[in-house]
Amino acid sequence: MKDRNIARTCRRLASLAAVPIAMAWASPEVGAQPPRRGEATTAEGVVERMTTAPRGEIDGAVLDDGTTLHWPPHLADRFAAAASRGDRVRASGWMETGPRGDTHFEVQNLTNLRTEVTAENDGPPPPRPGAREPRRGRGPEPDRRIRDLEAQIDRLKAELDRLRRDR
């Protein structure tokens, strides 16, 4: 009788453990698909406001027609030097839909139409329509990723030092 109760309890625990595993498997955050990219295009308009990344870097802008421009946060200084609120800009890039359904214009380059200052996103270009996605971790990208991660570590160390001082 005791062995039967133990076996029944084990089966119940196993079925309860399966629920969070199934939920994690179905969750969009886990194993999220890479963003879907559209064909290369341009966007033009007046910058209404700038957008920021979680750490406060300027990572994009919203145009007067509602288009959300986006560039990598590590290029914040480069793009902020090219355009600010009220400037008329032209951007080339592609529309991208992220894993959570958010749609934005991924900027390859941005030109301020008044000053003619241009900022470039020197990341990889979008794939050709119908082309296979490039394999990650091959070619020169790992070196760039390492540099980006080292810079992120330096920022985290500085933040830790600041927090320790402010205790």
Q: What pLDDT digit, counting tens, does each position of 133-144 carry?
A: 555 555 557 777
Strands 88-97 and 103-112: antiparallel
93 exposed, middle or buried (CB, 10 Å; 0-12, 13-18, 19+)?
buried
CB 91 within 8 A of CB 135: no
Q: Residue 13: its pLDDT value, please?
A: 46
Query: What does the mean pLDDT of the chain come to?
Result: 77
Cα 80 from chain centre: 18
Q: Which amino acid is at 131?
A: A
- More confident of the two residues 102 and 121: 121
Q: Residue 129: its pLDDT value, please?
A: 59
Give strand ranges (E) for the chain.
36-52, 58-63, 68-70, 88-97, 103-112, 118-120
- Give 91's strand partners: 43, 110
**Residue bearing tokens 């540099």:** 147
Q: Residue 25: its pLDDT value, please?
A: 45
The pLDDT tens digits of the residues spanning 84-119 come to 999 999 999 999 987 778 889 999 999 999 999 999
Inform me whether the pLDDT recorded for 53 exceeds 80: yes
Give the tokens for residue 89: 């800009």
